[in-house]
């Protein structure tokens, strides 16, 4: 991410505070929330996704919150030329969602390309933001920089508006995201507010769109790759959910550590060792410092043994279920078809409200 400007960090602080408040409200009145979040189908999910978001989505679903998950296939082509093996990637996501415990009876899983009315919201929404606002978005800028000299596409520049359509088509008021998505959430709130100011219903107490809040992951425990740097498939430092126990053991055997035999949790000076402790800690529900003390002079060998066993045990059921789903493509297709049908019904109803508010009901 680019350097935070003062108003951005003020926004982040406010968002963090509100996010903590919501965590409390969620346990008291889960029925007051509709949650939307999603993923770009650019590859297979890995343990960073699992501990960073997937497990949490299941917890919130199980608390009784209406949950909608978007597989953001159009977002794949914001900063790359082709869609890649998108069909396989979409169904790979669906398999991991189901294996993790998202229940297609309660949770709507859909691809946004399959929902025309959602995409049509983009037109009125684009009228509500200025070109200067779009150019200011720090996450879009960072994504452009990461492409190494590509020209900005119209879709990359405007995708936060498209993402607002993902959120608002179902009137979601809660969006679990990482810190990098906070500027998009801010834009989504602006769009919702301006829509009602400009085109909204006669009664301002009954806005068409709610103001969506971000739910930031509180742990802040960012998992790194097996070499201690940011996870990235191209660097080969990722442990994917679909890997076997043996593949996981092999990947962890190659994990980078350091020459100090005595294991300590020290993320600043020993990022690689500390990252392995973090992963093991998440799997075992244990403080990584306590784990470090337990391993003590056991060295990197013992640390790797602990993390391998913990991770393979933690993912065992997920992987068994995932393999069963992956072997049944017809079922995965029926889950997505059902989710897309439900998303279309919701989007059609919202678009009708939008057209009515805009006096475009013919
Ligand atoms: N932009 C998100 C990402 O790259 C994916 C996404 C698409 C999303 N639409 C969304 C997240 C709506 C939250 C809400 O991870």
pLDDT higher than threshold 60 for residue 348: yes
Q: Please list the alpha-helical segments (H only) found in the chain.
A: 6-28, 47-49, 55-62, 86-100, 116-120, 122-126, 131-136, 138-146, 154-168, 182-198, 245-253, 271-284, 288-295, 299-326, 329-357
Task: Kindly report, residue by residue over 212-239, the tens digit of the pLDDT.
Answer: 999 987 655 579 999 999 888 888 999 9
Using CB distances shorter than 6 Å, the residues near ligand 1 are 36-40, 70, 72, 75, 163, 166-167, 175, 177
- State yes or no: pLDDT of 123 exceeds 90: yes
Exposed/middle/buried for 239, CB within 10 Å: 0-12, 13-18, 19+? buried
Report the C-alpha gap between 98 and 101 in whole angstroms: 5
pLDDT at 218: 61
Instruction: Summarize the confidence of residues 36-40 as an average pLDDT.
Output: 97
**Which of the four pLDDT bands, split at 50, 70 and 90, describes residue 16?**
confident
Q: Ligand 1 center to residue 260 CA distance, Å?
A: 40
pLDDT in tens, 248-282: 999 999 999 999 999 999 999 999 999 999 999 99
Q: Is the pLDDT of residue 350 over 70?
A: yes
Q: How far is the CA of 39 from the centre of ligand 1 (A)?
A: 5
Residue 23 predicted with pLDDT over 60: yes
- What is the CA(80)–ligand 1 centre distance, in A? 16
Distance 135 CA to ligand 1 centre (A): 19
By alpha-carbon position, which residue is closest to atom 8 of ligand 1? 38
Q: How confident is the model at residue 12 (pLDDT cuts 50, 70, 90)?
A: confident
pLDDT at 2: 45
Q: What is the CA radius of gyration of the chain?
A: 22
Q: Between vectors from CA 125 to CA 119 and to CA 126, what angle results, nearest 5°? A: 100
Q: Are 35 and 26 in contact, with CB atoms under 8 Å apart?
A: no
Per-residue pLDDT at 35 exceeds 80: yes
- Best CA proximity match to 93, nearest among 156, 36, 155, 50: 50
Q: How far is residue 75's CA from residue 123's CA, in Å, rounded to a whole number?
A: 17
DSSP letter assigned to residue 153: P
Question: Looking at residue 219, what is its pLDDT?
Answer: 56
Per the CB < 8 A criterion, the answer to whether 279 and 313 are in contact is no
Question: Which of the listed residues 41, 90, 166, 191 should we mutate to test ligand 1's pocket, taking the one with most ligand atoms within 8 A of CB?
Answer: 166
Mean pLDDT of 88-95: 98
Which pLDDT score, from 0 to 100, does residue 220 have? 53
pLDDT of residue 272: 96
The pLDDT of residue 221: 57
Query: Structural domains in the chain?
Result: 2-220+329-357 (3.40.50.620), 233-326 (1.10.240.10)
Q: Rounded to 5 degrees, what angle do the CA atoms 136, 19, 274 make?
A: 90
What is the arithmetic mean of pLDDT over 124-148?
96
Instruction: Decide the pairing of beta strands 107-111 and 66-71.
Output: parallel
């Amino acid at each position: 991410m680019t350097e935070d400007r003062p108003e951005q960090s003020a926004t982040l602080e406010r968002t963090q505070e509100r996010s903590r408040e919501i965590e409390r409200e969620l346990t008291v009145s889960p029925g007051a929330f509709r949650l939307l979040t999603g993923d770009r189908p650019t590859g297979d999910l890995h343990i960073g996704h699992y501990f960073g978001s997937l497990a949490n989505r299941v917890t919130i679903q199980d608390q009784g919150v209406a949950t909608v998950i978007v597989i953001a296939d159009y977002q794949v082509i914001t900063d790359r030329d082709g869609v890649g093996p998108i069909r396989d990637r979409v169904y790979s996501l669906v398999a991991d969602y189901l294996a993790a415990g998202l229940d297609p009876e309660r949770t709507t899983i859909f691809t946004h390309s399959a929902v025309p009315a959602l995409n049509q919201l983009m037109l009125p929404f684009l009228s509500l933001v200025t070109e200067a606002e779009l150019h200011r978005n720090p996450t879009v800028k960072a994504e452009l920089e990461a492409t190494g000299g590509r020209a900005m596409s119209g879709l990359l520049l405007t995708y936060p508006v498209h993402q607002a359509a993902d959120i608002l088509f179902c009137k979601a008021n809660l969006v679990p995201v990482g810190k990098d998505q906070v500027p998009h959430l801010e834009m989504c709130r602006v769009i919702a507010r301006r829509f009602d100011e400009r085109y909204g219903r006669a009664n301002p107490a009954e806005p068409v769109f709610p103001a969506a809040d971000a739910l930031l992951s509180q742990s802040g425990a960012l998992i790194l790759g097996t070499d201690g740097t940011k996870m990235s498939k191209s660097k080969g430092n990722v442990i994917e959910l679909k890997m076997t126990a043996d593949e996981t053991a092999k990947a962890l055997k190659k994990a980078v550590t350091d020459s100090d035999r005595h294991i300590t949790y020290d993320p600043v000076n020993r990022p690689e060792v500390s990252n392995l402790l973090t992963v093991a800690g998440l799997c075992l529900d244990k403080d990584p410092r306590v784990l470090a003390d337990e391993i003590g002079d056991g060295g990197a060998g013992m640390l790797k043994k602990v993390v391998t066993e913990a991770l393979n045990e933690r993912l065992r059921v997920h992987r068994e279920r995932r393999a069963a789903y992956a072997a049944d493509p017809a079922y995965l297709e029926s889950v997505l078809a059902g989710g897309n049908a439900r998303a279309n019904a919701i989007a059609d109803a919202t678009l009708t409200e939008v057209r009515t508010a805009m006096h475009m009901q013919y």
